Amino acid sequence: MDWLYLHLPQLQLDQLLLGEHAACALPEPVIIIAPRSQHIVQLNAAAHAAGLKTGMRLDTASALCHPLHVVEQHTQATHVLRDLARTLYPLCADIALFPEQGLLCRITPMLRLFGGLERYLSLISEWLAQQQLTAQQALAATPLAAKTLAEAGIDTRTLNTAQVAQLLQRLPLSALALSARVQQQLQRLGLRRVEDVLALPRAEIRLRLGAEVIGLLDQLLGQQQTPLHFYQPEPYFSQQLELGHEVEQATGLLFPLKKLLQQLQHFLQIAARSTQSLLLELSLRDGTTQSLTLHSAAPERQPERWLALAQLSFEGFRPNAPMIGLRLCCQQLLDLAAPTQDLFATRRQTLSAAQLVSRLQARLGESGVQQLHWQADHRPENAFVERAFMEGAVMDSTAVESNIDWVPPALLRPTLLLEQPQPLSETIRILHGPERIQSAWWTAQPVCRDYFVARNTAQQTLWVFRDQAQRWFVHGWFA
């Protein structure tokens, strides 16, 4: 049997509980209702224990159960299914999405890779548990057969092909995706099961019931191919999580964000990539969105480190309205570089220089962490400039900035350079010099200075210069 169908009857509810601190053990009854009909379409175990059932009206449910958490059914099932297909992709290369809350997998090409059917089904079950999904599974020889059996709640994973074929024939016709008109016509003819229709001559079926029934039965039995569109993974990561309740403080997003960061790590591991920038899109109660960007000084993909940066960024962040949804986006993907380590290192550093810079940026903002860059100017006060920490620059204790356009010659320079030269007002003794710096003659601020290394009476080493007017200035101090 080639096809495995995963029917997710309470997909939105599972996603909702994924964002709760109590996860699946949420004691409060939760129901999801259709917006127009106000009927229950999904409910958790607590609501079921309170006597609520699918199809029950909201007013009836409210009378039977209090307190009751009510959520409207959304129309983003396809988007959620794409997110799930991305995480399932390492286990199955051929995945078809069905908006009716289901994933169809062609498993035959994967069995040899994962060590047989039993092992493969075990991996699928582990994936469902990891995603905290409630699923009805069915194996069959055709896509439509697997889908129909799974939606009917019939698990065929331990059955052979002949047994599955018998179950298909005994299926009630109401389990097939037929129009309401055809269903009524079948009932008037006294046809209740698939085997009842198959017992009729094919010409009679076409004449009485039309091509719709013929085509559906042919797809069910494998006599006609079911049109499928297989999932193609996106070249970037984007996943949304519905919170299910209003969150007023940004720190309340840390728990659901951790789930999304774990899924991001899985995506980056598969692609053998890393990233330095993440975008958080927050859905607010008033229908607007608000964005927050996280930056890392070095390529990173560990959820714990991104979560630490997010926690620092959240401390000074104030949303414009209570938050009801969270989306994590990552479009900047970088090639994964192998980590380097000092061969003679005696202990492992707990926090690298790049991680320190990332945390400072998260706390102080990008403009609050500056980096010195050389520039081609012989005037000491113009030889470097402060800029925001360079995106893509990797810092550690053994690395040197590799993208410097110009490096000054090896000259004797002080450790501390004053922003502006100060007049010399003490007695000094010349130790080294002079060194003439004459530059910027083409500008409005040319310089012509003779620099010396000198020492004062307090035995401090200074960097001084004399200008053309024979005035002396202090420009720096040596350590």
Residue 392 has pLDDT above 50, yes or no: no
Q: pTM for this one? A: 0.61
> pLDDT category, 395, cuts 50, 70, 90?
very low
Tell me the pLDDT of the chain averaged across its residues.
84
The pLDDT assigned to 385 comes to 73
Residue 49 has pLDDT above 60, yes or no: yes
- Of 25 and 260, the structure prediction assigns the larger pLDDT to 260
The pLDDT assigned to 365 comes to 67
Q: pLDDT tens digits, residue range 331-388?
A: 888 876 555 555 555 555 566 666 677 777 767 766 677 777 777 777 787 777 777 6
The pLDDT assigned to 219 comes to 93
The pLDDT assigned to 21 comes to 40
Q: How far apart are the first and last CA of the chain?
A: 77
Q: pLDDT tens digits, residue range 427-449?
A: 999 998 888 998 888 888 789 99
The pLDDT > 70 percentage for the chain reads 86
Residue 142 has pLDDT above 80, yes or no: yes
The pLDDT assigned to 19 comes to 53
Residue 93 has pLDDT above 80, yes or no: yes
Mean pLDDT value of segment 460-473:
93
The pLDDT assigned to 4 comes to 97
Residue 424 has pLDDT above 90, yes or no: yes
The pLDDT assigned to 407 comes to 47
The pLDDT assigned to 25 comes to 45
The pLDDT > 90 percentage for the chain reads 39
The pLDDT assigned to 88 comes to 92
Q: pLDDT tens digits, residue range 310-346?
A: 988 888 788 999 999 899 999 888 876 555 555 555 5
The pLDDT assigned to 391 comes to 47
The pLDDT assigned to 313 comes to 87
